[in-house]
Structure 1
């Protein structure tokens, strides 16, 4: 029973901390996501959604399309609040860990080891940029 109480208290403290952080971080003049960053993030989300990779969050594995939908929801929130300005911030603030539990996200692709989602997303972003520069 004591362990459960500690767990619940920890989750409540994280949620309160997250709310306070979001309130403190909300700028008076919200920054805007550039059209080039939006294009990159859209391409990144499309790659994730079309991949055969699985996405681990909060204790379970999800399909690439489910992961895309989840990260799109987080992106929409961050853009609305003016909390991101580029693709790297998207990866850092939306694609790295759960906002609720703090657990890191992972990506598992066929015939590859699990890897932190930030590594996979960063690698895909570099591929997108290389393709665009040719």
Structure 2
């Protein structure tokens, strides 16, 4: 098959445009980032009225993700369906910071996801 110079340029342009899109994080990468973010935080997680360390909370979220990946096709769905409330009681997960501030895990993780995406976009 003979490829002309025009064909080479067309292939080069296609590869360039594909590589631009491949730099965006996949849903799995975003979810893994959120789990890692939880693990590295200095916060207390409250699940069904019981306090848990950030590491325990991250392990719990990772377990839920492994067992229920079908409910987390996007990072937003991960937050909504798995990371923000108890699948057993329906109670929202809470996060308490060292200064005593208490926030819903859904809001905290949604804000982190937005920050992560902004930073990913800047790096491209």
1:100 matches 2:88: yes
Q: What root-mean-square deviation, in Å, do the aligned CA atoms of Structure 1 and Structure 2 show?
A: 1.3
What SS does structure 2 have at the residue aligned with 1:39? Answer: helix
Gaps (5+ residues) in structure 2? Answer: 1-24
Highest RCO, 1 vs 2 (Cα 8 Å, sep ≥ 6): 1
Largest Rg, 1 or 2: 2
Structure 1: segments with no counterpart, 5+ residues: 1-34
Partner of 2:42: 52
The equivalences for 1:53-132 within 5 A come to 53-79=43-69, 82-111=70-99, 113-132=101-120
Normalised by the length of structure 1, the TM-score is 0.69
Indicate the SS of the match to 2:78: helix
CA–CA distance in structure 2, aligned partners of residues 101 and 71 of structure 1: 16
Deviation at 1:112, TM superposition (A): 5.1
Distance in 1 separating the partners of 2:75 and 2:31: 6
C-alpha distance 61-74 of structure 1, shift in aligned 2 (>3 A)? same
**TM-score normalised by L of structure 2:** 0.74
SS at match of 2:71: coil
Instruction: Show the counterpart of 1:37.
Output: 27
Give every structure 1 segment of 4 or more consecutive aligned residues whose post-TM-superposition deviation is greater than 2 Å: none
